[in-house]
A and B are shown apart, each in its own frame.
Chain A
Amino acid sequence: MELLRFTTAGSVDDGKSTLIGRLLYDSKSIFEDQLEAVEQASRNRGNEEVNLALLTDGLRAEREQGITIDVAYRYFATPKRKFIIADTPGHVQYTRNMVTGASTADLAIILIDARNGVVEQTVRHSFIAKLLGIPHITVCVNKMDLIGFSEEKFEAIVRDYREMSAKMNSHAQLHFIPISAKYGDNVVSASDRAPWYQGGTLMELLENISIEHKQGEENQPMRLPVQYVIRPISDKFPDYRAYAGRMAGGVLKVGDKVRVLPSGLESRVKAIMQAEKSLEMAHTPESVSVLLEDDIDISRGDMLVDAQGPQPIVGQQLQMMCCWFNEQPMQLRKRYIVRGPVSETIGMVQAVDYRVDIHTLEPIEGETSLKMNDIAQITVRTAAPLAYDRYEENRNTGALIFIDPDSFETVGAGMIMN
């Protein structure tokens, strides 16, 4: 069984939580005691119908205010696949949560209210999906029951969306489904109210959609960031030295010639281990430990790459798209801690090249700071050279976060362009 991670974007009004509740409920992933608890809580709130949103909005503040504040993770499985949903709030002040949920997703569900069509919020959600490089976008046109399941209106929304997506230069694969989350049409069971729609239900799509990009990771150049050095220093293993990490791209085989970055030293792979088990090859995203032929200096933060294949960029001047997360605005020339998957250095933002107006997607120049939820292209200079790929080419080695050196909070995220 394979794993599919997807994220949902949309506001409460679009019926996002209802949709998730529906997926869980109709796939029998909700248990009796959970349903009882939700029924009870709905009654306590004076709701006439069972409010499935209460399944996912678990925090006290969320239940009180009837909104989703944070990313909630939900799990369900069908006989075909296991799913992880990152359920994120849709309001503009929660852009950072949406970015967080999107960072690991294979697919994004974007909800559109059939009565309103493509609105500003749709544009924003789609832009974030593109920014985070989500390979599949499934547009669910919800509340079809309120427009009489009109094919004409559905097709108009599809046309509008395609046009908007093309303007954005998105490479994601698009899918469109007319649904009613409230009544379940085309979510898990096919609807008989939209006979003109011949595509599958949302569940069928989730179960069958190709996650080729996961295998695609194997066609990428080999990348193994070194996380930890295993040195038992015991009688049985006196000189044992293995480099532990999680494959971040491509395939690694025993005998491969590897280069260590940033030092540039080279060696060959002597063995690949998973605990006691010795492997012939390691695939992305497996966690392994690697023994090399030569005794060379390698520590946490270094990256092993294929000596013959395409090399990552090693440099100190980076251009990236950045999303700011903190109430404290980003300051130019302030020293932030910059952290990739395992490497860390100090970085200074030298310039805000432009900020993206999240409503119109127009670039705005002349900014000298970024506020919470802003998205911008920035130029960063780092204290030490970093080895990285372009985010478009590798989501693992092209991403980094900014940490405030005073509060230690994670204040921003960057997707490297070059």
Chain B
Amino acid sequence: MYKLTHLKELEAESIYVLREVAAQFERPAILFSGGKDSIVVTYLAYKAFYPAKIPFPLLHIDTGHNFQETLDYRDALVKKLDARLVVGSVQESIDKGRVKEEKGYNASRNRLQTTTLLDTIEQYKFDACIGGARRDEEKARAKERFFSHRDEFGQWNPKNQRPELWNIFNGKKNMGEHFRVFPISNWTEMDVWQYIYQEQIEMPSLYFTHERACFERDGQWLAAEPCMTLKPDEKVVVRKVRCRTIGDITCTGLTISEAHNLEDIIEEIAATRVTERGGRADDKRSETSMEDRKKEGYF
């Protein structure tokens, strides 16, 4: 008797969602951060439309605080897929006075990204932005739809979401509104890594253990990069670390790890007792900080 594995079933669902986006929208884009989730989404899009090119550009919101490895990986991938890359720059938003840089030791451009993202969506008239968010990541995301409606202010209204039944998706909208679409909603962190292993997808080196100058703050290891302001008592030391999630340098926690390859990573995640967002300073600002940012139009 034929049995579909959970990875095959999840893959089939995600490819179906990506094809729905291509069929229902005029100007979609993939929100590409250089993290594992958006890499998997891009890979699934490649599979969904082969041998045609991916019918959407990759949209990268660049905080200006990216790891160099992320940018190198992004550019190599764009070249390999012969894809179109659109970059929205947070630095430009700051220079234009659209947003104001946060001050202090914990300053981050994480929240400023929302303005840059919404401005870029408006500039390019994107009507659907495909993201790699997963429902298992965070409790507000657990309530998210595959096709998530955004009003003309880019806002999410969690209390009045469209019911989503079976595999029927409603992407209809008025002028100026757009959708966020999350093809890997039903995947967990473990599913993502098992899939990367199964498909042997090439990953940025940041995910594997490497020696890096870092410092400890509130029990969390952070990269000692020029964009970080150290407190007087914080010391820079070299540690063997890897990233469990990749975002902006200012809010990407590093994990002390000896994981050299995908097998090691899967083993490490199976044994861990902390969620991947446990290392994200941006989620710790309040009990519902993700919901609050999402309402404003965050990823």
Contact of A396 among B139, B140, B166, B278 (CB under 8 A): B166
A59-96 near B? 1/0 per residue, CB < 8 Å: 11101000001111111010001101000000000001
Contacts A1-B5, A236-B51, A403-B172 supplied; 19 other A-B pairs, CB < 8 Å: A32-B274, A58-B139, A58-B143, A59-B140, A70-B159, A73-B143, A82-B6, A99-B165, A227-B19, A244-B49, A275-B47, A286-B8, A286-B12, A287-B13, A399-B166, A401-B170, A410-B162, A410-B170, A413-B165
Binds A, one of B100-108, B112-120, B125-133, B184-192: B184-192
Residues of A within 8 Å of B185, CB to CB, are 73
Q: Is A173 an interface residue (CB 8 A)?
A: no
**Which residue in chain A gives the minimum CB-CB distance to B140?**
A58
Q: Is B73 an interface residue (CB 8 A)?
A: no
Residues of B within 8 Å of A121, CB to CB, are none
Q: Is B265 an interface residue (CB 8 A)?
A: no
A250-280 near B? 1/0 per residue, CB < 8 Å: 0000000000000000000000011110000
Q: Is B291 an interface residue (CB 8 A)?
A: yes
Are B142 and A60 interface neighbours, CB within 8 A?
no
Are A274 and B47 interface neighbours, CB within 8 A?
yes
Q: Is A2 an interface residue (CB 8 A)?
A: yes
Residues of A participating in the B interface, judged by any CB pair closer than 8 Å: 1-3, 31-34, 37, 41, 55-61, 63, 69-75, 77, 81-82, 84, 96-97, 99-100, 103-104, 214-215, 218, 227-228, 230-234, 236-237, 240, 244-246, 273-276, 283, 285-287, 300, 325, 337, 339-342, 395-396, 399-401, 403, 408-410, 413
Are A234 and B158 interface neighbours, CB within 8 A?
no
Are B2 and A74 interface neighbours, CB within 8 A?
no
Are B1 and A240 interface neighbours, CB within 8 A?
no
Are A232 and B10 interface neighbours, CB within 8 A?
no
A-B interface, 6 closest residue pairs, ranked by CB to CB distance from nearest: A58-B139, A408-B172, A33-B278, A232-B52, A287-B15, A103-B165
Q: Is B83 an interface residue (CB 8 A)?
A: no
Complex alpha-carbon distance, A33 and B218, angstroms: 14
Q: Is B67 an interface residue (CB 8 A)?
A: no
Are A286 and B4 interface neighbours, CB within 8 A?
yes
Residues of B within 8 Å of A34, CB to CB, are 275
Contact of A285 among B9, B135, B291 (CB under 8 A): B9
Complex alpha-carbon distance, A287 and B7, angstroms: 13
Contact of A244 among B6, B48, B143, B287 (CB under 8 A): B48
Residues of B within 8 Å of A99, CB to CB, are 163, 165
Q: Is B23 an interface residue (CB 8 A)?
A: yes
Quick one: given A33-B274, A232-B52, are A75 and B186 in contact (CB under 8 Å)?
A: yes
Are A275 and B46 interface neighbours, CB within 8 A?
yes
Residues of B within 8 Å of A399, CB to CB, are 165-166, 168
Are A283 and B4 interface neighbours, CB within 8 A?
yes
Contact of B5 among A2, A244, A337 (CB under 8 A): A2
Residues of B within 8 Å of A104, CB to CB, are 165-167
Residues of B within 8 Å of A77, CB to CB, are 188, 190
Are B4 and A59 interface neighbours, CB within 8 A?
no
Are A31 and B275 interface neighbours, CB within 8 A?
yes
Contact of B162 among A214, A227, A337, A409 (CB under 8 A): A409
Contact of A215 among B2, B51, B163, B174 (CB under 8 A): B2
Contact of B170 among A33, A73, A339 (CB under 8 A): A339
Residues of A within 8 Å of B188, CB to CB, are 75, 77, 82
Quick one: given A59-B140, A228-B22, are A401 and B12 in contact (CB under 8 Å)?
A: no
Residues of B within 8 Å of A413, CB to CB, are 163, 165
Are A228 and B23 interface neighbours, CB within 8 A?
yes
Shortest distance between the CB of A44 and any CB in chain B (Å): 8
Are A232 and B5 interface neighbours, CB within 8 A?
no
Complex alpha-carbon distance, A34 and B161, angstroms: 25
Are B291 and A59 interface neighbours, CB within 8 A?
yes
Complex alpha-carbon distance, A32 and B272, angstroms: 9
Residues of A within 8 Å of B20, CB to CB, are 227, 342
B263-299 near A? 1/0 per residue, CB < 8 Å: 0000000001111001000000001100110000000
Are B142 and A339 interface neighbours, CB within 8 A?
no
Contact of A32 among B12, B16, B162, B273 (CB under 8 A): B273
Contact of A401 among B165, B278, B292 (CB under 8 A): B165
**Which residue in chain A gives the minimum CB-CB distance to B5?**
A1
Are A1 and B166 interface neighbours, CB within 8 A?
no
Complex alpha-carbon distance, A244 and B20, angstroms: 10
Shortest distance between the CB of A131 and any CB in chain B (Å): 12
Complex alpha-carbon distance, A127 and B196, angstroms: 41
19 contacts between A and B (CB under 8 A): A2-B3, A31-B275, A33-B274, A41-B287, A58-B142, A70-B143, A72-B139, A73-B142, A75-B136, A104-B166, A215-B3, A228-B23, A237-B52, A244-B19, A245-B19, A275-B46, A400-B168, A401-B165, A410-B162
Complex alpha-carbon distance, A232 and B49, angstroms: 9
State which residues 1-60 of B face A: CB under 8 Å.
1-6, 8-13, 15-16, 19-20, 22-23, 46-53
Complex alpha-carbon distance, A232 and B48, angstroms: 12
Are B135 and A73 interface neighbours, CB within 8 A?
yes
Are A283 and B168 interface neighbours, CB within 8 A?
no
Shortest distance between the CB of A74 and any CB in chain B (Å): 7
Are A232 and B53 interface neighbours, CB within 8 A?
yes
Complex alpha-carbon distance, A413 and B172, angstroms: 16
**Which residue in chain A gives the minimum CB-CB distance to B273?**
A32
Complex alpha-carbon distance, A95 and B202, angstroms: 45
Are B12 and A246 interface neighbours, CB within 8 A?
yes
Residues of A within 8 Å of B234, CB to CB, are none
Complex alpha-carbon distance, A338 and B5, angstroms: 33
Are B166 and A55 interface neighbours, CB within 8 A?
no
Residues of A within 8 Å of B172, CB to CB, are 337, 403, 408
Are B5 and A410 interface neighbours, CB within 8 A?
no
Are B287 and A37 interface neighbours, CB within 8 A?
yes
Residues of B within 8 Å of A341, CB to CB, are 166-168
Contact of A31 among B16, B273, B288, B292 (CB under 8 A): B273
Shortest distance between the CB of B280 and any CB in chain A (Å): 10
Query: By CB atoms of chain A within 10 A, which of B22, B142, B186, B190 has the most?
Result: B142
Residues of A within 8 Å of B4, CB to CB, are 2-3, 214, 283, 285-286
Contact of A395 among B9, B48, B51, B166 (CB under 8 A): B166
